[in-house]
């Protein structure tokens, strides 16, 4: 692995930690606390950075099966972050999370973790 790919791997692992903190907090409390917003936003920023580093550091085309999974997972998390921000700005601190958004959060996170795991498995081979 080259330095760009290693940096991307580090950033995507930090994104995993950030996403996990945000989504687990949201899932347990069913509220959008300020820490949820900090960690989901940080997760998206880290994920975008990681994606850029991995594309630049890869010798493969950016349009692989794993790339497609990863890009879709990133888009799903951006949508999740957008929905949470809209609700947070509209309802304020401790906004209740509607059931549909609560389920979407869990599914979006699960999709992202699957993309993370597949990328890790590919990197190991």
Give the three-state DSSP class for 1: coil
pTM, 2 dp:
0.92
Number of domains in the chain: 1
Q: Which CATH number goes with the domain that contains 59?
A: 1.20.120
Q: Which one, of 49, 109, 116, lies nearest residue 79 by Cα? A: 109
Q: What is the pLDDT of residues 87-120, one digit of tens each?
A: 999 998 888 999 999 999 999 999 999 999 998 8
Question: Computed from CA positions of residues 102, 106, 112, 115, in that sequence, does the dihedral angle turn out positive or negative?
Answer: negative
Residue span of the structural domain in which 68 resides:
3-124
């Amino acid at each position: 692995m080259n330095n760009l790919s290693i940096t991307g791997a580090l950033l995507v692992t930090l994104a995993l930690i950030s996403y996990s903190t945000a989504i687990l907090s949201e899932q347990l409390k069913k509220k959008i606390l300020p820490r949820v917003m900090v960690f989901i936003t940080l997760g998206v920023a880290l994920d975008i950075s990681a994606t850029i580093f991995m594309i630049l550091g890869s010798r493969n085309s950016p349009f692989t099966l794993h790339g497609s999974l990863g890009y879709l997972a990133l888009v799903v998390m951006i949508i999740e972050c957008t929905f949470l921000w809209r609700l947070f700005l509209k309802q304020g601190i401790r906004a209740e999370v509607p059931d549909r958004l609560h389920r979407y959060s869990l599914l979006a996170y699960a999709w992202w973790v699957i993309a993370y795991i597949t990328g890790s498995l590919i990197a190991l081979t």
